[in-house]
Structure 1
Amino acid sequence: MKPIKALGIATMLNEKVLDVFYFQISESDQNKNSITKLDEDAYSKLADLKDLKIAENKEIIEVNLAEDKKIEDVPTAFLKLHLISLKQFKPNELNLDNIFNVLETLAWTSKGPMMLNDAQKELLVSKANGSNFKINSVDKFPPLTDYIIPEKVRIADTARVRLGAYLGEGTTVMHAGFVNFNAGTEGPNMIEGRVSSKVFLSKGSDLGGGASTMGTLSGGNDQVVSIGENSLVGANSGVGISLGANCIVEAGLYLTAGSKVTLLDDENNELKTLKALELSGVSNMLFLRDSVSGKIIGKANNTNFSLNEILHVNN
């Protein structure tokens, strides 16, 4: 990777960094990673901060990222999440090792990030004086739109898309959709299900309502899943293997890597039975369950799936 310099506004609690909002990212001439606090003389000359009052619990920092090492601090964690959501890197291109150990569980509120006990106290104050105080989530990762509003994208429930999600133009995330960090869409795509960490959907594909893509974080799966172009993962279905282009998984069918799939020819004659993993990444496949025998069937997909274009002109 080319060295990167980023300027950010850090929220501080004593000496602890809670979060960083990066407002300027450019190429760096540094050859090693560094984090520097800027004094008022330095940051007052920045055009982005001109005439802005910096709150007492905020610091302006400069982060140089020259080596893509495992994460050891909050500023680097937030920078890498920003870089993915700004689409400067695709999911799985940056080293995010150790991010869960570095990030604390915080309350992401209408007043910014807070330690949980401070948020609880603020709730009491707001109820007593009638002020408007909202906790958007309690999580290690904040909502994407607290930091970045992606262009030509619709997100019906912003708490369901984490910072670090990559959303390509034309992506629509409906109310039940979820996109994890280090995951995303090329765009245009329809997301009504769960896009797990490390999963990437190519353009023109649809993840139906309640559908799931199996991730690797929980330890139950070691297959990094991707969905090819113009594919449909039906409502309440799921995949633990990658799909190639122009594939359909019927509604309600969960296709794990170990699922036994019976292949049929164009005349519905059985060819052979194999594990779904052996079909990972194969294009033009239709997966369904025989409602009589209960077998999972795989056959050539002769249907061309396409999105409803009017739902993805997100201007």
Structure 2
Amino acid sequence: MLTQGASAIGIANIAMDGTVLDTWYPAPRLDEAVADSGTVRLGAQDVTPQLLRQVLLDEDRRVEQVAVRTRIADLSAPPVDAHDAYLRLHLLSHRVVAPFDLAMDEVFDMLNTVAWTNKGPCLPTGFENVRTHLRTRGLIHVYAIDRMPRMVDYVLPDHVRIAEAERVRLGAYLAPGTSVLREGFVSLNSGSLGPCKIEGRLSSSVTLGAGTKIGLAGIVTARHDERGRRIPLRIGERCHIAICAGTIGVDLGDDCVVEQNIIIDPATPVDIVEEGRRVSAWELAGRDRMRFYRDPDHPAVCMRPAEGPAPRIDAEPID
């Protein structure tokens, strides 16, 4: 985990009661010169003309847009406030840092529940009155009432495909060449380290190696520890998790296959047919070239060595 710092200048939406709704950082960066963590408001002389035009009071939304500078002294330390949390999410989606490089366990707790609209974020409380004012500016679309916003409203990484914007959260890390198809989902502090094809669900704290494919309705889910924090889950390169298949808390090495309708978790009994013995799935965690499959002669899930790598996923994946 990185112990260096980070900093960025951005625009924060702050409700009239002081609630931080979001903060957008267009150019976050690592910064070893940061001594203390925190956020300060900036004056006109400290921001570019483009950002200065966004400093305003939106009376219809009951929100003040302010320019801020946020600094994080140590990325391995927990976030101190909502601005800090948003900077960490931006660092991930801008590919400045990779998942597991920084402390993310308490980020979700720092964020406030927000009504995400096409006119900007609003407080959910009393929103119908706000909607009445906003309708003078056109039809109002409420995308969600949630703590986490869509990534594409803040960061649009190069050379990726996202079929459904709602299904990729800010804080996702998508390597160039990755496709997230319509039923795919990628949470924060999670994503692909190389070209991947995702048509299933990735929980937070999951990484996929280059060339991995997650099939329709597949799941890759990191388990929680005793304190409720996600335990990082790693899937290796060139793996294939088929339709309605997945792993819950069991790492996979390179060139692994989980055939359709098979879900493995640490306690799943697995028959190693060639060795004539049964183990629990956790004992196989992290191994390369495993193929999990069903055999009518065995009541448990079976495993044998995978035969050859999965098909290559090019930089411009094709459905």
Taking structure 1 as the reference length, the TM-score comes to 0.89
| Corresponding position of 1:257 | 266
What is the CA distance between 1:308 and its match in structure 2? 5.0
How many residue pairs end up in the alignment? 306
- Is there any run of 5+ residues in structure 1 with no aligned partner, and where? none
The answer for unaligned runs of 5 or more in structure 2 is 58-63
Contact 2:94/2:155 (8 A) holds in 1: yes
- After the TM superposition, which segments of 4 or more aligned residues of structure 1 sit over 6 Å from their partners? 218-222
C-alpha contact (below 8 Å) 2:225/2:231 kept by paired residues: no
Give matches, 1:222-241, under 5 Å: 224-240=232-248, 241=250
Query: Secondary structure of 2:282's match?
Result: helix
Q: Structure 1 residues 96-105 or 206-215, which shifts more?
A: 96-105
- Partner of residue 312 from structure 1, selected from 270, 293, 317: 317
Q: Which moved more, 1:272-281 or 1:86-95?
A: 86-95
Report how far residue 130 of structure 1 moved. 9.1
The C-alpha deviation readout for 1:136-160, integer Å capped at 9, x for no partner, is 1221110001100011001111111
User: What whole-Å deviation, never above 9, does each CA across 1:89-130 have from its counterpart, x for those lacking one?
Assistant: 111221123223221111111011111134333445667x69
Q: Tell me if 1:24 matches 2:33.
A: no
Counterpart of 2:56?
A: 55
Q: 1:91 aligns with which of 55, 80, 99?
A: 99
Alignment of 1:40-189 (within 5 A): 40-43=44-47, 46=48, 48-49=50-51, 52-56=53-57, 57-68=64-75, 69-123=77-131, 131-189=138-196
State the SS of the aligned residue for 1:8.
strand
Q: In structure 2, how many angstroms separate the alpha carbons of the residues matched to 1:211 and 1:163?
A: 21
Matches of 1:172 and 1:203, distance apart in 2? 12
| AA at the equivalent of 1:309 | D
Aligned-residue sequence identity (percent) comes to: 28
Within the alignment, does 1:8 sit opposite 2:10 as a pair? Answer: yes
Task: Work out the CA distance in 2 between the residues paired with 1:116 and 1:17.
Answer: 13
Question: Does the 8 Å CA contact 1:70/1:97 hold for their aligned counterparts?
Answer: yes
Q: Secondary structure in 1 aligned to 2:27?
A: strand
1:1-46 deviation digits (Å, cap 9, x = unpaired): 3332210100111233211000233436331112111112332xx2
The 8 Å contact of residues 5 and 28 in structure 1, kept in 2 or not, is answered as: no
Question: In the TM superposition, what is the alpha-carbon distance from 1:135 to its structure 2 partner?
Answer: 1.3
2:61 maps to: none
Is the CA contact 1:189–1:307 (under 8 Å) kept in the aligned structure 2?
A: no
Gap change, CA 1:288 and 1:124, over 3 Å in 2:
farther
Is this contact kept in 1: 2:196–2:313, CA < 8 A? no
